[in-house]
A and B are shown apart, each in its own frame.
Chain A
Amino acid sequence: MINKGGKVLLEVKNLKAEVDGVEILKGVDLTVRAGEVHAIMGVNGSGKSTFSKVLAGHPDYTVTGGTATFEGKELFSLAAEERARAGLFLAFQYPVEIPGVSNSALLRLAYNTLQNERGLEELDPLEFEDLVHEKIKVVEMDPSFLDRSVNEGFSGGEKKRNEILQMAILEPKLAILDETDSGLDIDALRIVANGVNSLLTADNAVVMVTHYQRLLNYIVPDYVHVMDAGRIVRTGGKELALELEARGYDWVRAAA
């Protein structure tokens, strides 16, 4: 929902960032309020994935200018883990496989780390099992995936569902979904989208980074931003996504 009077979760101003000395982000502005769903679209290489990684604190990217605040806190003064504990979540485009670390052990470790941060009780393995079996329904995942190593041998769709399961467990205030729709067949896309929708509340927000309009049929955005050459060059409502689907990106880029 568009929430003009809502609490500002993320405020990015004139953000510039580079990787290996090459400037990718050239002045990005974005404001996300509680309750809102944003989509950032753009062609490959426009900087949209870089934007999500910079917000999450990926070490390969260097912020060279601008500011970002998360609930009023300086985002770039926080380490990646501190951003996560503050309630920022990144669903990865390419979730990493971690042989030897069980999915359930990781989920519990992450959950309890956040519980600690919030001054709440940690859950023991049995209590956590109850929680995770409840949450796993959100992504219609078989509980046997909990005992397997993180993402090891998972299909593309299973990996993406696993990302959303982590989101369901960690209950972030702001979730950034980086190309979560890529590599998903239509059934997996529906499941992932239903999962995300069920987690949306008036107090949290989602930023979807995507190439295609397809995902937006399932998770309906309040705002659609078009990123090009490291800047957001146009912002509109959900109809902008349909227009992009019909007309491509060239007209927006030409107008920018």
Chain B
Amino acid sequence: MLTKEQCFEQLLLGKAVKADGWLESIRVEALESAKALNFPSERHDDWRFTDLSPLFQHGFQPVTSFVRLTLADIENYLIPGSTRLVFVDGCFDAGLSDLAQAGAGVTVKSLVECFGDPQVEAQFARNLSFKQDAFAALNTHFFEDGAFVHVSSENVTGEAVAPIHVLHVATKRETPSAIYHRCLVVMESNSRATVVEDYAGLNGGIYFSNAVTEVVLKDHAQLQHVRVQREEKSAFHIGHCSVKSGRGSVYAATSLAFGARVSRHTQHVMQLGEGAEIRLNGLALIAGRQIADTHTRIDHAVPGGKSVQLHKCIADGAAHAVFSGKVIVHPGAKGTDSAQSSRNLLLSGKARIDTQPQLEIFNDDVSCKHGATVGQIDADALFFLKSRGLSEERARNLLTHAFAGEIIARIPVPSLVESLSRAILEERMKENA
């Protein structure tokens, strides 16, 4: 068992791919940031609810060999009709990917192929506060590859475009592995797309997924951004997503956390253009000894912004869910309209949920509301279902599933809604078996 310091030292032993020019200077800077920041302490305000000690016990090794998978191995995760980029332990697998569906004006590629692209140079790691977060800094230094999605203004047809599925799978290794995921999405003016980021593990195993995603929405662009975290229950997942939204743009995200022993998702959306709309839907559904932490922050920096957030946590067993959602209305952001709701379901006496909706308003002339509820399974609904012959377990599962379903149903990809719904119900059955 390692100490926190040893765990950090071990991560620094990873090998960064040598890069040229602008990227190399970013990498060097990121390493300096990582060393200066180190892992957050328990007293760090952003981390005080989240016990990272299970993560620190392991020495995560860099991935040095490539595991060859077949489509059959990832069959359960495929989204029919999507444009697909597949990464195995952080390495791009062209054979498993399917780029045939990408429409006109849509670029979907592995990042390493695109470092010469001025778009990438202009946006990569510009958008991200890796100087404030050790995990994002480690990622920026050590990532090997990632996804680049660019949707040009040619693509204004919207719904007809196939969803872009970025699938990350982790394989089981002899020793715990450190895996870095990276994704850059650039939406040009008036473009529309749906991007699904999917993090999954195969066959168990202990690994540390460190994921960083950057999204840029130019004026009037619309992005449906889905994030599914279904890592192995023995794994660790720390993800960052940073979004810049331009004038009149619409950013609608649905982020789901089901897996990992300890997971954290930090999402930061900056409204930089007037009249931008931001919708954040979130769900953490955990059991056993899982810890799932979601930290979101929405900055309304300019007038006319709108944000709507609904986050749900469901904790069973001795699980611990954390939600911290900050909405900041800056001076000058007149006419901001913001609503935030945190709804939580405790399924066991040993489970715990911490929720912190926070509003910081430096402005009059705004409409902002927020609220939080924590409850248990509704006793009347439970009795009703039992009176129709359903067992206690079945009835509880059905009600839990229904509570989660409100968020899952917001995913704009029907086949994914269906497969996730089914997977959850089966998983719940297993938990109770």
Contacts and interface: CB of A to CB of B under 8 A. Distances in A.
A110 B394 CA distance: 10
B386 A79 contact: yes
Nearest to A100: B402
Nearest to A149: B402
Contact of B388 (A57, A149, A166): A166
A56 interface: yes
Given A98-B402, A109-B394, A81 B386 contact: yes
A188 B395 CA distance: 30
Interface in A88-110: 89-90, 92, 95-96, 98-101, 106, 109-110
A100 B405 contact: yes
A231 to B, nearest CB: 25
B401 A80 contact: no
A113 B385 CA distance: 11
A95 to B, nearest CB: 7
Interface stretch (B17-25, B28-36, B177-185, B376-384): B376-384
Contacts of B402: 98-101, 149
A150 to B, nearest CB: 8
Given A59-B379, A99-B406, A101-B398, A85 B384 contact: no
B74 interface: no
Contact of A84 (B379, B380, B389, B392): B389
B384 A95 contact: yes
B391 interface: yes
Contacts of A81: 386-387, 389-392, 395
Contacts of A109: 390, 394, 398
B56 interface: no
B368 interface: no
Nearest to A53: B383
Interface in A166-189: 166, 170
A114 interface: yes
B77 interface: no
Interface in A44-101: 56-59, 79-81, 83-85, 89-90, 92, 95-96, 98-101
A188 B35 CA distance: 73
Interface residues of A, number: 28
A49 B402 CA distance: 29
B401 A96 contact: no
A96 B389 contact: no
Among B383, B385, B388, B391, max chain A CB count under 10 A is at: B388
Contact of A96 (B380, B394, B403): B380
Contacts of A92: 384, 387
Given A59-B379, A98-B402, A84 B384 contact: no
A57 B386 contact: yes
B318 interface: no
Contacts of B401: 100-101
B359 interface: no
A117 interface: yes
Contacts of B385: 98, 106
Q: What's the interface size class on B, roughly?
A: 20 to 34
Contacts of A113: 388-391, 394
B339 interface: no
Given A99-B406, A100-B405, A101-B402, A106 B387 contact: no
A100 B406 contact: yes
Contacts of A83: 387
Given A96-B380, A109-B394, A101 B399 contact: yes
A253 to B, nearest CB: 31
Nearest to A117: B389
Contacts of B381: 96, 98
A58 B381 CA distance: 11
A59 B378 CA distance: 13
Among B380, B384, B401, max chain A CB count under 10 A is at: B384
A166 B386 CA distance: 13
A203 to B, nearest CB: 19
B406 A80 contact: no
Contact of B389 (A58, A59, A95, A110): A110
Nearest to B405: A100
Contacts of B389: 81, 84-85, 110, 113-114, 117, 170
B317 to A, nearest CB: 22
A89 B402 CA distance: 24
Contacts of B405: 100
Contacts of A59: 379, 383
A140 to B, nearest CB: 22
A92 B381 CA distance: 11
A95 B389 CA distance: 16
Given A98-B402, A100-B403, A57 B387 contact: yes
B386 A84 contact: yes
B408 to A, nearest CB: 9
Nearest to B378: A96
A96 B384 contact: yes
Contacts of A89: 387
Nearest to B400: A100
Contacts of A170: 388-389
Contact of A80 (B383, B399, B403): B383
Contact of B399 (A79, A85, A90, A98): A98
A110 B384 contact: no
5 contacts: A56-B387, A84-B388, A90-B387, A100-B403, A106-B398
Given A57-B386, A96-B378, A100-B405, 6 more contacts: A85-B389, A90-B387, A92-B384, A109-B398, A114-B389, A117-B389
Interface of A: 56-59, 79-81, 83-85, 89-90, 92, 95-96, 98-101, 106, 109-110, 113-114, 117, 149, 166, 170
Q: What are the 7 A-B residue pairs with the smallest beta carbon separation, nearest first?
A: A100-B402, A84-B389, A110-B388, A80-B386, A100-B405, A113-B389, A81-B386
